[in-house]
Structure 1
């Protein structure tokens, strides 16, 4: 029996079924609660826009639910693991399987297989459902839940940096010398401090610079505002700077993001943050494989110790510590402190070793 990778077929199907049913039941509960809370916070913003109705609330739910599912599926796997193991341990089923000659890894094998299936479903779901829903939701949120303009090449919320100054443009339309800017804001800074804010209703490319019209200049040092009919700014900032589309790694699937990274590399642009997101599209779903290992302490502690609740708490703490470490590593990767591969995979490998160590120490 100890030479077999899996226990008997009956035990394997029994444990996998328990694990999967509890995983998706916990996920459904979390999605219902979290989506309700999220909708309470966003419904006021959506309905405050003229013309929006209950149908727009359901449209928001349809775009937001996939994000919640993707975010909390690993949490669901962790909680389902703890519930399953606590039930098996409390009913002495783990003791019976160990008495039949099964090792700890053989008992965990059906749950590993089931969690691998969950990871595969999560990867496909993220690529085909979550990424398109995220792209649509971000476009809608950029216009404050108002009518979304047709995809006619209009770029929204474009930022350009020139020296110490920052330029924000609400909408950019057209290409080349015909580029038009709407709702322009120029933040002028000196020695890291904001000196003045220039606002203009529109702007256009004119003889190597940008001519902005209906200008309001607010000088922060004097607390004075000045109005001008037109002003020339941004000399040397070519229209292509406003036409570059920002690549949002969360709004692209794995293979489209990979192609976008290759294009950016060919253009000589930094891609460290996007590479971290790319690797995390694999390591994120695979975190479901860690949960049975991290939660195994709830089943393989000393059964006669009577500390089932304490072991479940320790398993939950290990799981949540992984999520904290994962988010921390991604943040360090975004700041450039960690290489992209390390930022995406270091927490996974670290907690894989921790889970194996805890399992061996408590069982073997």
Structure 2
């Protein structure tokens, strides 16, 4: 029994070693294709039109690489298992393993373990690396365009904010605005009918996590009804809820792709407490939140599908495996897009809309394994 256990352990190591090599090949291939199609051509066109410096384009492309790697990870898992198990089958190694009493289910176990590892890596990329990298890429592009374009609102910004009765509630003034940070601010607050406080600050910027303005190095003057100063408070940083009309539409509704699970959850909690929220936008965020969790687990289903197809007698080379991989991935994304759209429209719950494609693919994978075991 101990000798048999050692043989099985060696088989696992052998298959996992082969999967590692094929996975690296597939990850490089799909990442390069994604970068070329999704980012490179557009950036080169902007460089050619002198809208973007070549060095900036290289920096943006480097920052966008994690996004394409994140999408390439499930494809690489599928391609790796498909190629490795097809080669094992074509070289009659599967027959040799089964003659030792190793079942098909046991042979698929290394692919399942490998897929679990890829799931963890994909989750880390999608939750931690990609949002931060995308946000930095957006900042680099915006800063580059601001250096080549004249800002629309650059100095002496005066913004009045009115209540539902069209009565002045707050008067806002900033000396300068570079698109990200405002300088030398003054806010006169008369939300109670009279001037109740005056806020001055050296600078302020939009806090994406809290979805409000963050003022720095300022003073709050509290004013009584008779116009006298009641109290004076100095602050290093102070959050103030102002109208988001001061920033662009994209900044009003931050991109969920640029937020981690924690950031998106906090943003959704703030929207939950907002009675004037856009319900359609909130429902979309609920679906996207669940998809951030469910997407990495597609590596499990695709890994099992690749192994099950590869176990069949026919030979599948790298070229054939790549073509089959593209077809399967396209089918999955089409299925996921369709079900996600139904969920965003409100006909499916967010959890079901996010996880149903995974369940369908895993059911197909399980059926293929059962068929191969016969």
TM-score range relative to shorter protein: 0.5 to 0.7
Paired residue secondary structure (1:137): helix
Could you tell me whether the CA contact under 8 Å between 1:63 and 1:136 is conserved in 2?
Answer: yes
TM-score (norm. length: structure 1): 0.67
The 1-side partners of 2:66 and 2:258 are apart by: 12
Match of 2:367 in 1: 357
3-state SS of 2:348 partner: coil
Q: 1:60 to 1:112 in 2, by over 3 A?
A: same
Corresponding residue for residue 280 of structure 1 = 291
State the partner residue of 1:292. 303
C-alpha change, 1:315 and 1:60, in structure 2 (3 Å) is closer
Partner of 1:77: 77
1:363/1:5 CA distance change after superposition, 3 Å: farther
Does 1:10 pair with 2:21?
no
Equivalent pairs counted in the alignment come to 282
| Aligned with 2:341 (options 312, 331, 334) | 331
Q: What secondary structure, in the 3-state scheme, does the structure 2 residue paired with 1:177 have?
A: strand
- 5 Å-filtered alignment, 1:250-289, equals 250-268=257-275, 269=277, 270=279, 271-289=282-300
Which deviations, in whole Å up to 9, do the C-alpha atoms of 1:181-232 show, x marking residues without a partner? x9xxxxxxxxxxxxxxxxxxxxxxxxxxxxxxxxxxxxxxxxxxxxxxxxxx
What is aligned with 1:112?
112
1:144, distance to aligned residue in structure 2 (A): 7.9
Deviation at 1:131, TM superposition (A): 0.4
CA contact (8 A) 2:86 2:311 kept: no
**Pairwise CA distance, 1:319:** 4.6
Change (3 A) 1:75 1:146: farther
Q: By how many angstroms is 1:265 displaced?
A: 0.9
* Native 8 Å contact 1:79 1:316 kept in 2: no
* Alpha-carbon distance between aligned partners in 2 of 1:352 and 1:5, rounded to the nearest angstrom: 29
CA 116–73 in structure 1, closer or farther in 2 if over 3 Å, else same: same
Query: Whose RCO is larger (CA < 8 A, sep 6+)?
Result: 2
Answer whether contact 1:22 1:80 (CA < 8 A) is retained. yes
CA offsets per residue over residues 58-114 of structure 1, 9 Å max, x none?
111112111111122211111112111111111111111111112222111111111
Query: Which residue does 2:245 correspond to in 1?
Result: 242
- Partners of 1:357 and 1:118 in 2: CA distance: 22
The SS at the match of 2:113 is helix
Unaligned runs of 5+ in 2: 155-168, 178-241
**How is 1:198-217 mapped onto 2 (pairs within 5 angstroms)?**
none
**What is the CA distance between 1:292 and its match in structure 2?**
2.1
User: Does residue 40 in structure 1 map to residue 53 in structure 2?
Assistant: no
Contact 2:87/2:315 (8 A) holds in 1: no
- Give the structure 2 partner of residue 178 of structure 1: 172
Q: Is the 8 A contact 2:111 2:307 kept in 1?
A: no
How many angstroms does 1:314 deviate by? 6.5
Say which SS state the counterpart of residue 290 (structure 2) adopts: helix
Q: How does 1:149-188 map to 2 (within 5 A)?
A: 176-178=170-172
Q: CA deviation at 1:287?
A: 0.7
How big is each residue's C-alpha offset from its partner over 1:221-267, in whole Å with a ceiling of 9 and x where there is no partner?
xxxxxxxxxxxxxxxxxx72525831321110111111211121122
> 1:149-188 deviations in whole A, cap 9, x for unaligned?
9xxxx9xxxxxxxxxxxxxxxxxxxx953278x9xxxxxx
Judged with a 3 Å threshold, the aligned counterparts in structure 2 of structure 1 residues 263 and 287 are, in CA distance, closer, same or farther, namely: same
Give the structure 1 partner of residue 20 of structure 2: 20
Aligned CA RMSD, in angstroms, stands at 3.6
TM-score, structure 2 length as denominator?
0.65
Mapped partners of 1:142, 1:333: distance in 2: 33
How many Å separate the matches in 1 of 2:57 and 2:80? 30
List gaps (5 residues or longer) in structure 1: 155-174, 183-238
Contact persistence 1:63–1:137 (CA under 8 A): yes
Cα 1:284–1:25 shift into 2, 3 Å: same
CA–CA separation in structure 2 for the residues paired with 1:5 and 1:315: 33
Q: Following the alignment from structure 2 to structure 1, what is the Cα–Cα distance between the partners of residues 148 and 349? A: 37
Tell me the equivalent position of 1:188: none
Aligned mates of 1:323, 1:277 — CA distance in 2: 15
